[in-house]
Chains A and B, each alone.
Chain A
Amino acid sequence: VINTIAKLAKTCTLRLTVSKLYFILSDKVANGGVSMWCELCQGNFFDEFQMEGVAAEHNEIYLELVPENLSRALKTAQSAKAVKIKLTNKHCPCLRVAVELPSLSSSSRIVTHDIPVGVIPRRLWNDFREPSVPDFDVSIYLPTLKTMKSVVERMKNLSNSIVIEANLRGEMNLKIETDLVSVTTHFKDLGNPPWASEDGCQSPAQDGDLERVAEARIDIRKLQQLLAGQQVNPTKALCNIVSQRIVHFILLHEDVSLQYFIPALA
């Protein structure tokens, strides 16, 4: 998980609650407007989990960290017997990752990494709220990520922006167009996820609805970054498109959910 986050964000916020961990990136200009929300249940990853928040009513901790540092520390843990992560505050707040490695002698080796983190004060916690699902025009399941990854990588050599177009018949097109060349890839039979509407009943697709097409032009590098970070096929992968505004990707694995928002280019 950390490797995927590290590929997507240089710095992000880690929010710890009693039951879950969240990696958050909010849509500031510095990110090119991209925002990310990644959620995982601590029970699926940790045998032991203890935390104490700022105060009883707000039993949460918000930290700012560079995921690449955490990723590098965890690389040492590939063949570890055990890994312990502690939040300490010696001269400055740090995440101390202690990795117990197997060794030939009876006593094991322990490698410790101290990763500096910033503690985010409670008054700023509102900046990191869970983003709501936008009012999308079309929602569609993504094609096999491997194929999508190959196509987008090649298209990245040819153009800076890509248009994602999809309809309610389970069809999606990826298009690029430059002076030299235009390339369109057509995906079919993808399926559209059913979303229950606000008033509790699913509105049946009207004939007119089936014709609805949504499209957005986004920075191709951001899309490629997202796809490159997916090493394993997600259990579910879909995207919601708000025409000309934003594309919202939802990738679900067994223990992790990742939401990624890419804004449309002007």
Chain B
Amino acid sequence: MPLSTQPSGSGEPYVLTASLDNARHLSSLLRAVHFRDHATCFATANGIRVTVEDAKCIQANAFIQAEIFQEFSVQEESVTFRINLSVLLDCLTIFGTSSLPGTSTALRMCYRGYGYPLMLFLEEGGVVTVCKINTQEPDELLDFDFCSTKVVNKIILQSEGLREAFAELDMTSEVLQITMSPDKPYFRLSTFGNAGSAHLDYPRDSDLMEAFHCNQTQTNRYKISLLKPSTKALALSCKVSIRTDAQGFLSLQYMIRNEDGQICFVEYYCCPDEDITEAE
């Protein structure tokens, strides 16, 4: 879709230009992290990372690498801005959210730099929509300092095993308790709600378990209201990796395959609930 994107007269190039034949490849990933209105976008030559945070204890990141785009160019080392994610999603899905076979919305994104709005050009069936979304100063983002060397326990599961469990979590419980252990119960999800406590166990030799590396028995509790939005990412994904470190910080990494079979990642980091964490 050859749309001229040269701004008239100024000769300044855009610091970020990206083209995507199917805007859904971007919008579905962004929806998986959409639990607050604002997000920080961070773009480098490798691709775009969109981060959403809440309550200073949870952070979700969606990674869309450069290869997903038909055209991707970043003129500076990195480009960062804060943007209203709800507005961005409304614009990306301006032609509707239902995916009819054969129709897709083409997208071109341009950003002139600090202080300029993000420009979106969307086209479907000959109809063109142009959006100008104002950007803001990026916020300081939390650094969970979660690296693979500090991981104590790690499990990789096929998502279909967890989907039902997450969709039916007892929301009257304030916390979700996750137990990971080299001994029984291996991997247990627990809630403590008005109707009583519920425990869901996954044995280590289950078909759904792709990898099981637990070194220490750990039980950690996380505020359930913060983790509930991760259900969206779980719904889209085929595999999920669950890792905890010595402090009980949780990392959930979702592997998502898009309509064209390309792989993208979404990750959620969560702090343990202060009052009640024990590492037995």
**Chain A residues with a Cβ under 8 A of chain B:** 143-144, 146-147, 150-151, 153-155, 157-158, 179-189
Contact = CB atoms under 8 A, between A and B. Distances in A.
A183 B93 CA distance: 12
A143 B124 CA distance: 13
B87 interface: yes
B17 interface: no
- Judged by DSSP, the binding face of B is mixed
A183 B129 CA distance: 7
A147 B125 contact: yes
Nearest to A188: B126
Contact of A157 (B90, B125, B131): B90
19 contacts: A147-B124, A147-B125, A147-B127, A150-B96, A151-B129, A154-B91, A158-B90, A180-B87, A180-B133, A181-B91, A181-B132, A181-B133, A182-B132, A184-B129, A184-B130, A185-B94, A186-B127, A186-B128, A187-B127
B129 A181 contact: no
B134 interface: yes
- Judged by DSSP, the binding face of A is mixed
Interface of B: 84, 86-87, 90-91, 93-96, 117, 124-134
B134 A143 contact: no
B95 A151 contact: yes
A144 B127 CA distance: 10
Given A181-B131, A186-B127, A188-B127, 7 more contacts: A150-B94, A151-B94, A181-B87, A183-B91, A183-B94, A183-B129, A188-B126
Contacts of A151: 94-95, 127, 129
B125 A154 contact: no
B130 A147 contact: no
A187 B133 CA distance: 21
A181 B134 contact: yes
A150 B95 contact: yes
B134 A183 contact: no
A143 B129 CA distance: 14
A150 B93 CA distance: 9
The 4 closest A-B pairs by CB, nearest first: A150-B96, A185-B129, A183-B131, A181-B133
A110 B182 CA distance: 68
Nearest to B128: A186
A151 B117 CA distance: 21
A154 B94 contact: yes
Contacts of B126: 188-189
A158 B88 CA distance: 10
Nearest to A179: B134
Contacts of A146: 96
A180 B128 contact: no
A188 B84 CA distance: 30
Residue with the greatest number of chain B CB neighbours at <10 A, chosen from A183, A186, A188: A183
B202 to A, nearest CB: 39
B152 to A, nearest CB: 43
Nearest to A189: B126
B91 to A, nearest CB: 6
Contacts of A155: 94
A154 B127 CA distance: 15
Contacts of B129: 151, 183-186
A180 B130 contact: no
A187 B87 CA distance: 22
A181 B129 CA distance: 13
B107 to A, nearest CB: 14
A158 B126 CA distance: 23
A229 to B, nearest CB: 17
A180 B134 contact: yes
B30 to A, nearest CB: 15
Given A150-B95, A180-B84, A185 B128 contact: yes
Residue with the greatest number of chain B CB neighbours at <10 A, chosen from A143, A180, A181, A189: A181
Contacts of B117: 181
Contacts of B131: 181-184
Residue with the greatest number of chain B CB neighbours at <10 A, chosen from A143, A154, A179, A186: A154
A157 B117 CA distance: 19
Contacts of B127: 143, 147, 151, 185-188
Nearest to B122: A185
Contacts of B133: 180-181
Contacts of A189: 126
B79 to A, nearest CB: 19
